[in-house]
Structure 1
Amino acid sequence: MTDDTQGGAGEAEAAQTETGGIASVGPLYGRHTSVEQTVGGGVLVSIGALLLGMLLAALDQTIVSTALPTIVSDLGGLQHLSWVVTAYLLASTAATPLWGKLGDQYGRKKLFQAAIVIFLIGSALCGMAENMSELIAFRALQGLGGGGLIVLSMAIVGDIVPPRERGRYQGLFGAVFGTTSVLGPLLGGLLTQHLSWRWVFYVNLPVGIVALAVIATVLRIPHKRARHVIDYLGTFLIASVATCLVLVASLGGTTWSWGSPQIIGLAVAAAVLLAAFVLVEQGAAEPVIPLRLFRVRTFTLSAVISFIVGFAMFGAMTYLPTFLQVVHGITPTMSGVHMLPMVFGMLLSTTGSGQIVSRTGRWKVFPVAGTGITTIGLLLLHKLDEFSGNAEMSFSFFVFGVGLGLVIQVLVLIVQNAVGYEDLGVATSGATFFRSIGASFGVAIFGTLFASSLGHNLVQALAGSRLPAAVTPGSLEADPRGVVALPVTVRPAVLHAFSDSITDVFLYAAPVALLGFVLAWFLREDKLRGSVTAPDGTETLASNPVERSSYDEVCRALSLLGSREGRRQVYEKITARAGYDLLPAASWLLLRIKKYGWAEPGMLAERSMVPLTVILDAGRQLEERQLARREGLDLILTEEGREVADRLAQAREESMAELLGDWWGPDRPTDLIRLVRELNTELCGSDAERPQGV
């Protein structure tokens, strides 16, 4: 039994399968019960609470961007703006693998509740911060909890939802990221403009408290302890390496000169820690990033390109609101609106590229085109200035977003295709890990370049001007809102200084994106396995790495394929494979009767939404072939019908196994065999595969 199961839970909550269990499920199809074994109301409420938890973490990576200029003006320290984002990214990235494995060992419900509490405490403290140092520290605490919210909410879905339904429900969680990409900047702007930037953080509190209360009272998780040898040292070392390098990138040339003892010391420390990390990972039982993955060329190239994509994506998303609000005088709310073309371009190309690749099997054109268009997008952003119109800015934002979207989803997909089943989970988390680290570097380096050039440009802009003693380059850096109070004779030069300082950053980033374009040409276009499907939003749009096992990745893909590929085509295929000439609907009905013991055509038509004429034709054929007989209104299988149904079920299983390609080899693991059989049992004759065309 589970340490998460509380007293009063019924037998349905305790009953579970070996592969994860189902809490609070409806009864099997009987004469007066539902058509399917369905997810019960308690689980749906729990899913809603998990979605709220996911919403908190997803929203926090976009809602802050439009508030950053106001935060800097209020707390001062424009040169530290990047760390408001970077602290969160680094903390959540480092914490993600630990949350996943600790949840396996000690129970995901308790850990998920702890993650929410940590996130809410961090949010409350961020809202109360009195200076930038406090805000940065509290953002790191918030990121620590945010990493757990994403990884544990996805893992809990696997605990409470049967394998057949997981793809659909995990798709909902992925959709949260797409939604927050649109709503985050808008909501951040609204709260900042009409309440205070502090409400960007306070808004998490009521949502989190509701999620916490629902999870405490409703969520029941069938849980089997899974022991892990957690790589604490490896996690600490890689996080330390990333932190040292980001500190070098963000403090070098600004706070300290590049040749200062501090910067040299940080660089040396990063090199020593990296060497120690490599040594530790070679002997780790469950390494954070197995070094053998770097022997796979596709993984290595994809990791580097993922780093570059994260670098460009989050760097630009952090500083574009500052350009809009300071240079163009746009309100925080409207800056969120102006960001929408980039978001829509990214979502459109992300969705389109992933679907096209998973259906055609051809993918190389997308990372090549994506990195190329991203480079062009950065050059277009560089051309913007204080005189640029809305149409020009929207077009530049859209092109940049399209470029990013073309590549981010495909990179995850091809990494999954390039490795063996045993490395599927860690390869996916590894690729997304490098995107997260790239995001940290992008925000930090963009910030360094911006801060170092802004001071110089402001000195030039204000040279020779007669201004109040309180107005200095330093005061404008600390509070950009001071620009509006400048005399009209000076203001244009200052706005131009801000504009050049921000847009020059995109010019410096363009060669990095161009490097990704060059590397993309060296990717080898291997044939895709049938089970490799477009990854969801949690794997492509999240700022922190995904952390799912190989089993979970295959389960998601097969459950999606089972419901998408199903219906008429799959029954035509398995009927031919089994050597019969039955109607597709007859094969479906035969398997359905095998599954539930009987079928009454009228009731089945009403509850499964398959036309009654289709079911009657199928039933008539079964009776004519003596595969089923009547008992009153019900159809019951004959002995010959059971044999045919068994052969059809075997053909369905073989068809599903074929999708796994070389993962379904002679040495295939037992959990993969169990998954295919369980999904086959759930899908055969189910509503998910009712034979009504596609």
Structure 2
Amino acid sequence: MKGEPKTYSMSDLSYYGEKAQQQNEKQQKQYVVRRNSTQSTSKQNVSVVLEDNASESNELPKGFILYASLIALALSLFLAALDIMIVSTIIEEVAKQFGSYSEIGWLFTGYSLPNALLALIWGRIATPIGFKETMLFAIVIFEIGSLISALANSMSMLIGGRVIAGVGGCGIQSLSFVIGSTLVEESQRGILIAVLSCSFAIASVVGPFLGGVFTSSVTWRWCFYVNLPIGGLAFFLFLFFYNPGLSTFQETMDNIRKFPSQFIEIVRNVAYHLLKIKGFSKLNGWRKLFMELIFMYDIIEFVFCSAGFTCILLAFTFGGNRYAWNSASIIILFIIGIVLVVLAGIYDFLVFPKFNIVKATPHYQPLMSWTNIKKPGIFTVNIALFLTCAGYISQFTYIVQYFQLIYNDSAWRAAVHLVACIISTVVTAILCGVITDKTRQIKPIIVISSIFGVVGAGILTLLNNNANNSAHIGLLILPGVAFGGLAQSSMLASQIQLDKKSPTFRSDFVSITTFNTFCKNLGQALGGVISNTVFSAAAIKKLTKANIQLPDGTTVDNLVIYRQTNFDGSHSKLGNIISESLTDVFYMALGFYALSLIFAVFASNKKVTASLR
């Protein structure tokens, strides 16, 4: 009907929307912009309607182009995931070299925290610049961070490099799933997400193994040097084969031949945005920049949220190590952190939507829209994912520590034991994608995966220094099943809750997809630090209770160093203390999984839309 916006799938609006951003003048001839005006400015919206002569753009990529694009995305995601898992086997060596085991959790958190906090804003950056250019920029940032980590001469420099890599890795993870979800129809997204998730799982196998080999045979620094050639390959694959609007092999080959002119165009695009920033030197320019930061990028919520979670993680890091838990410093960090996170939520959910300029400008949206997040089908599955990831990263990290600290295994031998966990993750992710494609059901997968998570976490508490080889393998399978099933299904379950008729559907889709990544990465960041805190506090308490004095003081740093240089068997007093401390970590993970199951039960029953094929 006249005056009503036509409904399009996310594939149409996002995949080909990027081409529109890159060719504004040409697209103006193919689009008709209709503005629906009402008496209230808050209900004004612009609907972009494709003309019939642009029906060619409705075709999604097929064959070689689709597979080449997916390979580029999968390799990029593999790169980002590899950097999370590869450090699990270098903990002891790095702690020994820099003498800072109490800060070792920040090898994970330094990467995972910016990975989480920036997940929501990368989509906003990509919207005006273009998803392809932003993805390439994220890969470059990641490579710089990896190089800094490889050259680190102190724990602070290493953590700094991890933070920079986390900024780039966040863009890679967030944009990979957004771009990937727009390449196929909704009914096929389950398989696509499963394929991309498998690259994460494969990195989980390769990462610890490579890390173990490098640490044992060469140096732990190669765990970061290896990112440079892989990142270069991912960069050029994505540069050549992801081209919105080109759906045939011949078009892509012709486009590759134009690489020099393409490169010049990218440089011009970057220069254009730099000139825009330079133009802000004038008063009106600075005012416009301020308005864009406040409303387009929701910088106030971002600052509050980032500062809040950082304070909370610092409190967990230093509590019980440098400062007592009841010290003023730790209490203040907790209070400030919680207050800032609450203020971030209040601002985005209640204050931001009240501004008149937000009501009149549809593309001004908060990073966390309460309108979307409050939907049970979105809120419950993402909280379940957050809790599952917190439990999974705790288990994953300290399974490696179990074999290294109790049995004195080398880094690569400890990593081999993770294969059972990772294989179950890969198989489950693919199987769930196929089941979703055939049955269109999501909730049963979410609930069953969460049940497996609770059962698996409960069984894993039996992993102590009395466990046999069969237990070393069998106890690690169910946690992998839980993570593979929930990580794959939670994103799709969130996406299908959105209203395709909404004028903000495209921005909502990007926002919810990145919110899912935010929850996953935040869970990993918090889980990594909290598990380190639980292990450290438990070990120190048990050492004190047993009246065991270490040569250089009763600290976790000294415990690890002493254990490496004076290994006295898996059933010695120190072996028993370490085993009991690891069990405390596994019980903490069980608590996370139990809470995750509660939220999973309330997931939406909505099914995936049937294919139009």
Q: Is the TM-score greater than 0.5?
A: yes
Aligned residue for 1:331? 410
Quick one: which amino acid aligns to residue 308 of structure 1? L
Of the structure 1 ranges 120-129 and 375-384, higher mean CA displacement relative to structure 2 is found in 375-384
CA 1:331 to 1:17, structure 2 compared with 1: closer, same or farther past 3 Å?
Answer: farther
Distance between the aligned counterparts of 1:257 and 1:307, measured in 2?
28
Distance between the aligned counterparts of 1:135 and 1:99, measured in 2?
24
Q: Are 1:500 and 2:580 counterparts?
A: yes
In the superposition, the TM-score normalised over structure 2's length comes to 0.72
Contact 2:198/2:430 (<8 A) preserved: no
Find the partner of 2:146 among 112, 123, 134.
Answer: 123
Find the partner of 2:423 among 344, 347, 351.
Answer: 344
Quick one: which amino acid aligns to residue 445 of structure 1? I
Find the partner of 2:592 among 502, 506, 512.
Answer: 512
Distance between the aligned counterparts of 2:567 and 2:194, measured in 1?
53
Contact 1:76/1:479 (<8 A) preserved: no
Aligned residue for 1:238? 305
Contact 1:192/1:332 (<8 A) preserved: yes
Contact 1:77/1:478 (<8 A) preserved: no
Find the partner of 1:433 among 509, 514, 518.
Answer: 518
Q: When the two structures are aligned, how many residues end up with a matched partner?
A: 507
**Cα distance per residue 1:267-310 (max 9 Å; x no partner):** 22223323432343132521111012343223232232222111
Aligned residue for 1:483? 563
Secondary structure of the 2:476 match is helix
Aligned residue for 1:112? 135
Contact 2:309/2:341 (<8 A) preserved: no
TM-fit CA distance, 1:341: 1.0
Aligned residue for 2:322? 255
Quick one: which amino acid aligns to residue 114 of structure 1? F
CA 1:245 to 1:363, structure 2 compared with 1: closer, same or farther past 3 Å?
Answer: same
CA RMSD for the aligned pairs?
Answer: 4.0
Matches within 5 A, 1:207-218: 207-212=230-235
**Cα distance per residue 1:159-191 (max 9 Å; x no partner):** 9x7989996887754442232132222222122
Secondary structure of the 1:393 match is helix
Q: Which runs of 5+ in 2 are unaligned?
A: 1-18, 32-47, 51-55, 246-264, 274-291, 354-363
Secondary structure of the 2:90 match is helix
TM-fit CA distance, 1:338: 0.4
Aligned residue for 1:449? 534
CA 1:399 to 1:415, structure 2 compared with 1: closer, same or farther past 3 Å?
Answer: same
TM-fit CA distance, 1:264: 2.3
TM-fit CA distance, 1:97: 2.9
Quick one: which amino acid aligns to residue 117 of structure 1? V
Contact 1:57/1:146 (<8 A) preserved: yes
TM-fit CA distance, 1:412: 2.9
**Cα distance per residue 1:639-671 (max 9 Å; x no partner):** xxxxxxxxxxxxxxxxx3xxxxxxxxxxxxxxx
Distance between the aligned counterparts of 1:217 and 1:526, measured in 2?
40
Q: Are 1:199 and 2:222 counterparts?
A: yes
Find the partner of 1:320 among 381, 396, 399.
Answer: 399
Matches within 5 A, 1:142-157: 142-153=165-176
Distance between the aligned counterparts of 2:570 and 2:380, measured in 1?
49
Matches within 5 A, 1:71-86: 71-86=94-109
Find the partner of 2:497 among 418, 426, 429.
Answer: 418
**What is the identity percentage for the equivalent residue pairs of Structure 1 and Structure 2?**
24
Aligned residue for 1:267? 334
CA 1:277 to 1:165, structure 2 compared with 1: closer, same or farther past 3 Å?
Answer: closer
Distance between the aligned counterparts of 1:527 and 1:37, measured in 2?
27
Aligned residue for 2:207? 184
TM-fit CA distance, 1:133: 2.3
TM-fit CA distance, 1:139: 0.8
Distance between the aligned counterparts of 1:221 and 1:77, measured in 2?
47
Matches within 5 A, 1:560-571: 561=611
Q: If you compute each CA radius of gyration, which structure gives the higher value, 1 or 2?
A: 1
Q: Are 1:100 and 2:179 counterparts?
A: no
Distance between the aligned counterparts of 1:37 and 1:433, measured in 2?
28
Find the partner of 1:374 among 453, 457, 470.
Answer: 453
CA 1:508 to 1:524, structure 2 compared with 1: closer, same or farther past 3 Å?
Answer: closer
In the superposition, the TM-score normalised over structure 1's length comes to 0.64
Secondary structure of the 2:118 match is helix
Contact 1:156/1:221 (<8 A) preserved: no
Distance between the aligned counterparts of 1:156 and 1:364, measured in 2?
24
Distance between the aligned counterparts of 2:374 and 2:29, measured in 1?
40
Contact 1:119/1:146 (<8 A) preserved: yes
Contact 1:188/1:333 (<8 A) preserved: yes
Aligned residue for 1:307? 386
**Cα distance per residue 1:431-457 (max 9 Å; x no partner):** 442232222211111110101111233
Contact 1:115/1:148 (<8 A) preserved: yes
TM-fit CA distance, 1:3: 8.9
Distance between the aligned counterparts of 1:420 and 1:104, measured in 2?
20
Aligned residue for 1:590? none
Aligned residue for 1:589? none
Distance between the aligned counterparts of 2:180 and 2:379, measured in 1?
31
Quick one: which amino acid aligns to residue 463 of structure 2? L
